[in-house]
Structure 1
Amino acid sequence: MSRHTLTRLAALLGTAALSVTLLGVPAQADTARVDPVRYDPVRPGAPASKAATTVRVPGSFTGYGFDACTAPSQAVMDRWREASPYSAVGIYTGGVNRTCPQPALTADWVRTQARRGWHLLPIHVGPQSSCAVNREFPVEMSLDRTTAEQQGRTEARTAVTAARALAIAGGSTLYYDLEDYDLGPDDCRQAALSFLSGWTKQLHGLGFRSGVYSSIGAAITSLDLADRVSAGSYAMPDDIWFAWGNGRADTRTDSRVQSKRWDGHRRIHQYRLDIVQSYAGSAIKIDQNWVDVGRGSVASRSPRLCRGVNVDLRRYPALRRGKRGAAVEAVECLLRKQRFTRVKPDGRYDARTVRAVRKAQRRLDLKVTGRVDRRTWVALLSRGTRPLLKVGETGPNVRRAQRALGATLGVRVRVDGVVTVRTAALVRRFQKRERLPQTANVTDVTWRRLQAGG
């Protein structure tokens, strides 16, 4: 950003009255001219009404994402699903300034990615600012604010048509890509705000949610200032997606975003741009993003496996006949839930417990001793299905993996049902110890090693 622009922004932030004037609205804003939001804000992540044929995106997620100029082939998407840390992907669905070909991007492609666990981020690249930084675009938005707002509405209708053709359902968030531009000239800044306001109003009218992608120092700064000093003068997007190449995988901002409007899982941060990464032999040039949308990755409350018994222990000690206490109750609970015994947990390691442990060890192909060692704990704690788990995944399968990792590594693990960056680090540590591919994802081979006793 130029020194001239920074000086001008400092002046903008100096007094609210001056800020309102430069934003292009009267000091006493006539908020009646802003269209009411005429849509029912569909809960993000809920299934679409025609779930068999359409998908609502991006859903609820907190974790890693990437965007690439061209939607990757199915083979590449499958390889990256297994081997990469990413679970969200930005796709360029349309717009007059979209430059890359999209041979793979079809409705079937969208349905397949959603079914396989990807969170899709639809991006529309329409008219750009005439004050764009360091490049020119074939189609630019008008500097007349009324015309610019109508152009924003037109682009929203076009984006919705493209989204529906790709089986993207109402209630989805569509992101407008407004590339970096100079905030100094009043006409450019005001036209962009009017354009994005039209975009948001029309999307809401058509039953979609609005997102805006831009440099943190361009449209994002301008939207934030408008929301704080002239609330109601422009329709604000539901989500923001800011480019700020600081290398930090989070959604924290600096003084350029002070409004609280986009707190609470309404942000995406593009933190590293134009890098080439390769997973499972497939290389792509991408931008890296940290995504926090919908309700975020928050696990629902998990019922106890057995009434009154806690299996989320600080440590999983070796046990043998004669032992008593909470750890014995926990292993008895696991044995009962997995049908190795019908005896209810009582916290006493007696002959019945020994028989159940021996039965489990035979079934799990472990050394049959009747005593509970580390391998027996890990095999019991991890037993079940083997779904792929990556950063951002939630649910009871995550809890199984977290318990087993704590037992096999001998560390205290927070069992909360969410794969966090910390959880992924423990997965990688286990994979390194076991000489498995270090993806930091709980893959099928990782599950199998855990279920064999780790």
Structure 2
Amino acid sequence: MRSALPSPTTRRRLPRALAPIAAAALAVPLLAATPTAPTYAATAGVSTGVSTGVTTGTTTGTSTAARRDPNPVTPGDFTGYGFDQCLTPTQDKMDAWLRSSPYLAVGIYISGDSRACRNQPNLTPEWVSTQLARGWKLLPITLGPQASCQPRFPRYDDDFTISPKPGSSGTYYQARKMGQNSAVETVEDAQRLGLTKGSTLWYDLEGFDLGNNRCRESALWFLHAWVSKVEQLGYASGVYSSAGSGIRALDDARVNRPGTFRLPQHIWIARWDGQANTSTSYIRADGWLPGGRMKQYRGGHDERWGGVTINIDSNYLDLGRGSVAPAERHCGGVRISFNDYVPLFRPVDGKRASKRHVKALQCYLTERKLYDGPINGMYHQGMLPVVQAWRKSRGISTTSSTWYRRDWMTITAYGAKPLLKVGHASKHVRRVQRTLNAAHLGSTLSVTGTFDNRTTSLVRTYQGKVGLPQTGIVDRKTWNKLMRGRRG
């Protein structure tokens, strides 16, 4: 995670009073320390728990802005790229990166006394609601007490490390108390920013010596209490840590001591192998799958997008159900998605146009309110005035009765012009995928509605053919070319 140090202004000490939130709503007795460790239902690796926990929350926090206009759950179901940076970027930087970078998720440090960037002048409820409204997926991070054997902490003279004392029961009462207090603070800060219940809150536990028994066990009990409390207060839980220490410790606990600890619903694996996936050899292949992993695959480095340079870590996310577009239905079930959109022509010498493609055209023209005839797959004389009317509306001057690939592109692309890139999933992505297939670029796409790496590649190919910068991002200029049926 980001570690650049700002001016060391003291924020506060743990634990603290919970003024903005009713104490009764947050106060829950600490789990009693007993000789036998309590058992808990496992959450790791259960896809239904991950998906449901992240996507169904609708209750807002306590901020006025959130009450007026509830923010969406974040990150929700998402597959794509994200970055994290110590200091929350300004709005201008966020906008530039939204337009130009491959990233659609951003990690923000919202809580914790051990943060390098305690002061976050840009991080406000308005900043949060603006990013969510513009399509960013937010990853709220807490960097509070760290493992007792982590040599870089405590960072200041007023933060703490996790107590390594096992106590008489061996269940690390002090560590659990610290975890619970930290969770309450995290939720308070999340609610102050308008982060909706059901959103995933992440705890950043920096790497530590896995072989140090008390250090490892106290960290596990701390996370157990933090996860339990965060989930009890209505949020989904996630833990960031090194693949070889914190994440491995969680995975070992999952397999070797099932039910002992409350495990996070999601894990954020720090493994700087340069591979944009969620895999690592440090943990077993079945843990937190499907839909419970993200990976920080590259550490601190500068990237420049849209004229703006930010020092970031790079991440790949595959959370919940992943990026999935809602189902579509057209004209009572008429198929309108194809790998190729062939030209259509009037019957000649016993040959007829593809019936299924004609039905698709009739459906499109019906939805555009230009055609009220039967959707029967017959490219007949009565359709020609409608075809010409569509062409005229698109500025195409031709009297040909044949419906060409260019015509297909104009009608499959027609509509709004939202910015689209990797991670988006919607009906608009389907429009792009259909239109790229109609452009006949030598490669085809499955029309899934999910903007994946393959879609990015074909967008770049198309942009190169029509003289646009090959960003792989569908912006207004790209939409305009698609809607005009330009093929190069």
Indicate the residue corresponding to 2:450 in structure 1.
Answer: 418
Deviates more, 1:367-376 or 1:222-231: 367-376
**Does residue 45 in structure 1 map to residue 55 in structure 2?**
yes
Counterparts in 2 of 1:419 and 1:453: CA distance versus 1, 3 Å:
same
Counterparts in 2 of 1:225 and 1:359: CA distance versus 1, 3 Å:
same
Indicate the residue corresponding to 1:394 in structure 2.
Answer: 425
1:346-361 → structure 2 map (5 Å cutoff): 346-361=376-391
SS at match of 2:226: helix
**Does residue 332 in structure 1 map to residue 323 in structure 2?**
no
Q: Is the 8 A contact 1:44 1:295 kept in 2?
A: no
Alignment-mate amino acid for residue 107 of structure 1: P
Distance 2:181 2:59 in 1: 26
CA deviations on 1:112-134 (whole Å, 9 max, x unpaired) are 11111111000000111132267
Indicate the residue corresponding to 1:267 in structure 2.
Answer: 293
Q: Alpha-carbon deviation of 1:329?
A: 2.1
SS at match of 2:286: coil
Q: Alpha-carbon deviation of 1:344?
A: 2.1
**Does residue 258 in structure 1 map to residue 284 in structure 2?**
yes
Distance 1:268 1:133 in 2: 26
Gaps of 5+ in 2: 1-34, 44-48, 61-65, 166-171
Indicate the residue corresponding to 1:364 in structure 2.
Answer: 394
Indicate the residue corresponding to 1:315 in structure 2.
Answer: 340
Distance 2:128 2:440 in 1: 39
Q: Is the 8 A contact 1:321 1:354 kept in 2?
A: no
Counterparts in 2 of 1:227 and 1:47: CA distance versus 1, 3 Å:
closer
Q: Is the 8 A contact 1:357 1:371 kept in 2?
A: no
CA deviations on 1:84-121 (whole Å, 9 max, x unpaired) are 11111100002111112311000111011111111100
> What count of residue pairs does the alignment treat as equivalent?
422
Q: Alpha-carbon deviation of 1:291?
A: 1.1
Distance 1:274 1:433 in 2: 35
Indicate the residue corresponding to 2:479 in structure 1.
Answer: 447
Counterparts in 2 of 1:308 and 1:294: CA distance versus 1, 3 Å:
closer
Partner of residue 238 from structure 1, selected from 258, 265, 272 = 265
Indicate the residue corresponding to 1:107 in structure 2.
Answer: 125
Partner of residue 81 from structure 2, selected from 61, 64, 70 = 64
Distance 1:195 1:104 in 2: 30
**Does residue 432 in structure 1 map to residue 464 in structure 2?**
yes
Q: TM-score, normalised by structure 1?
A: 0.88
Indicate the residue corresponding to 1:182 in structure 2.
Answer: 209
Distance 1:352 1:30 in 2: 81
1:128-207 → structure 2 map (5 Å cutoff): 128-132=146-150, 137-138=155-156, 139-144=160-165, 145-207=172-234
**Does residue 306 in structure 1 map to residue 316 in structure 2?**
no
Distance 1:142 1:164 in 2: 27
Counterparts in 2 of 1:49 and 1:158: CA distance versus 1, 3 Å:
closer
Counterparts in 2 of 1:33 and 1:135: CA distance versus 1, 3 Å:
closer
Q: Is the 8 A contact 1:321 1:350 kept in 2?
A: yes
Alignment-mate amino acid for residue 338 of structure 2: L
Gaps of 5+ in 1: 1-28
Counterparts in 2 of 1:106 and 1:222: CA distance versus 1, 3 Å:
same
Q: Is the 8 A contact 1:133 1:180 kept in 2?
A: no
Q: Is the 8 A contact 2:445 2:454 kept in 1?
A: no
CA deviations on 1:379-403 (whole Å, 9 max, x unpaired) are 0111111111121211221111110
SS at match of 1:87: strand
CA deviations on 1:230-256 (whole Å, 9 max, x unpaired) are 1111111111001101111111222x2
Distance 2:57 2:481 in 1: 34
Counterparts in 2 of 1:232 and 1:294: CA distance versus 1, 3 Å:
same
Q: Alpha-carbon deviation of 1:54?
A: 4.3
Q: Is the 8 A contact 2:406 2:439 kept in 1?
A: yes
Indicate the residue corresponding to 2:16 in structure 1.
Answer: none
Q: Alpha-carbon deviation of 1:290?
A: 0.7
Partner of residue 296 from structure 1, selected from 319, 322, 325 = 322
